[in-house]
Structure 1
Amino acid sequence: MSDSKQFTLYSHVGGPNGWKVSYVLDELKLTYETKFLNFDKGEQRSPEHTKFNPNGRIPTLIDHSNNDFVLWESDAILLYLVDRYDKDKHLMSADMGEKYQIIQWLFFQSSGQGPYFGQFHWFSARHPEKFPSAIERYRTETLRVFGVLESVLSKNEWLVGNKMTLADLSFIPWNYLALSSMLKDDKDFNFKRDFPATSAWHAKLEAVPTVKKAFEQRAFLLANIL
């Protein structure tokens, strides 16, 4: 493990969940080394990784400043980081009600957005056979999730309170996957027209320096390494 960085993050260049953790580490100005695993070689299931994460998925975070504490599952990692290191409540709220609303959105992201968007991506772009019924089901669910976000963001600038929080950041990499890959050739879909408030919110988050930096790093790695 790295002696000079506070954390080691096991991630994947194309996988959205690892980038969620990068956003928060950067927002909290924490130092870390990212080890990008090669899924084609099965590195996520290698003993070198599963000794930390028995699920063989990413992300996995090791906190070297806390006795090499290991944690996996992206939203659990996000909550750990703000509980331990976000003393100024930069990405959380000091209000108990708002805190649990943020957690509510993290649960929705991990149980709704991530799985539905992931299945849509798999059946529309990765599965060797085309199953129109599966593609349509998960496309419909993807649009439904955007609709849930729109119903809130049409009334509020952010998902919780009057500032960007963990809740907002957790959605961005999966949104990006949907918009850049899954829906980019869908002639019936227009993000700005169909979900104007969500589109504006997404664009505002893309412009956040730490998020922008991560997008640029991901693009560079995809172009030069994979």
Structure 2
Amino acid sequence: MIEVYSWPTPNGHKVHIMLEECRLAYRVHPVDIGAGEQFAPNFLAISPNNKIPAITDPDGPDGKPISLFESGAILLYLAGKTGKLLPADVHGKYEVLQWLMFQMGGVGPLLGQAHHFRIYAPEKIDYAIDRYTNEARRLYSVINKRLAHSTYVGGGDYSIADIAIFPWLRSWKNQGVEMSDYPHLKGWFDEIAKRPAVQRGVEVLAGARKPLTDDKAREVLFGRRQMEQR
């Protein structure tokens, strides 16, 4: 049984979807990031960057327990554990990995900034809103061009690259994007959204998430509490 420490965010949903796609047994432990539960010592012991998700697998490599943080690393681990959703051939594997890195280094951080400055920032800064909205649209364009010539983001087969990117695009309206402007991406998005494992994955903890409207949650996520040394 894999223990999953998570919250219903795009990065959390990546791991929920992967576990469902691989049909692995798992148990979810909610980590309410608006309430500051990510700073608890027992969570920091497995996720020192105080970010969800994290996992503990009692049946890790060589039968020894392993704990992992960072959603991309977890996807790679689960792909290796099950032999699923990452090509076995070297060429195919690296084709997928480059798009996984594209998500980790670009899609996640930059769309996260678009969310922050468009939705959550207490001060509306036009420069920041324009910069990250334009960057969101650029990233959507990159994916759209890729999908004009490829069935899936990582190549001909559904993979961890698709799983990593899909949850971040579910909030396209908040990012200032019009999905219909990217027809190849929209077709891919609609197909992925219909997958039963994806539908189950995005429902994990879905009822627990609360709007970030109070000052305490904002302070925990974006303010001084986030910057404290631990």
TM over 0.5: yes
Q: Structure 1 residues 46, 62: closer, same or farther in 2, change over 3 A?
A: same
**What is the letter of the counterpart of residue 4 of structure 2?**
L
Partner of 1:132: 126
Q: 1:11 aligns with which of 3, 6, 28?
A: 6
Partner of 1:3: none
Counterparts of 1:42-57 in structure 2, within 5 Å, are 42-57=36-51
Deviation at 1:41, TM superposition (A): 2.0
- TM-score, normalised on structure 2? 0.85
Aligned length: 207
Give yes or no for contact 2:16–2:204 (8 Å, CA) kept in 1.
no
> Taking every aligned residue pair, what percent have the same amino acid on both sides?
33
- TM-score, normalised on structure 1? 0.87
Partner of 2:159: 165
Deviation at 1:219, TM superposition (A): 4.0
What SS does the aligned partner of 2:152 have? coil
Distance in 2 between the 1:43 and 1:219 partners? 17
Distance in 2 between the 1:40 and 1:93 partners? 37
Q: For structure 2, which runs of at least 5 residues remain unmatched after alignment? A: 211-230
Distance in 2 between the 1:175 and 1:54 partners? 27
Counterparts of 1:1-226 in structure 2, within 5 Å, are 6-13=1-8, 15-66=9-60, 67-86=64-83, 90-179=84-173, 181-183=174-176, 189-192=177-180, 194-222=181-209
Deviation at 1:82, TM superposition (A): 0.8
Can you list the C-alpha shifts for 1:150-187, whole angstroms capped at 9, x where unaligned?
A: 111011211233221111111011101234x333xxxx
**What is the letter of the counterpart of residue 201 of structure 2?**
A
**What is the letter of the counterpart of residue 99 of structure 1?**
K
What SS does the aligned partner of 2:76 have? helix
CA RMSD, 1 decimal: 1.5
Give yes or no for contact 1:121–1:178 (8 Å, CA) kept in 2.
no
Give yes or no for contact 2:5–2:28 (8 Å, CA) kept in 1.
yes
Give yes or no for contact 2:7–2:209 (8 Å, CA) kept in 1.
no
Can you list the C-alpha shifts for 1:112-146, whole angstroms capped at 9, x where unaligned?
A: 00011000000111111110110110001101110
Q: For structure 1, which runs of at least 5 residues remain unmatched after alignment? A: 1-5, 184-188
Distance in 1 between the 2:190 and 2:29 partners? 28
**Which one scores higher on RCO, CA 8 angstroms, separation ≥ 6?**
2
Distance in 2 between the 1:204 and 1:164 partners? 11
**What is the letter of the counterpart of residue 183 of structure 2?**
P
Distance in 2 between the 1:162 and 1:73 partners? 26
**What is the letter of the counterpart of residue 11 of structure 1?**
S
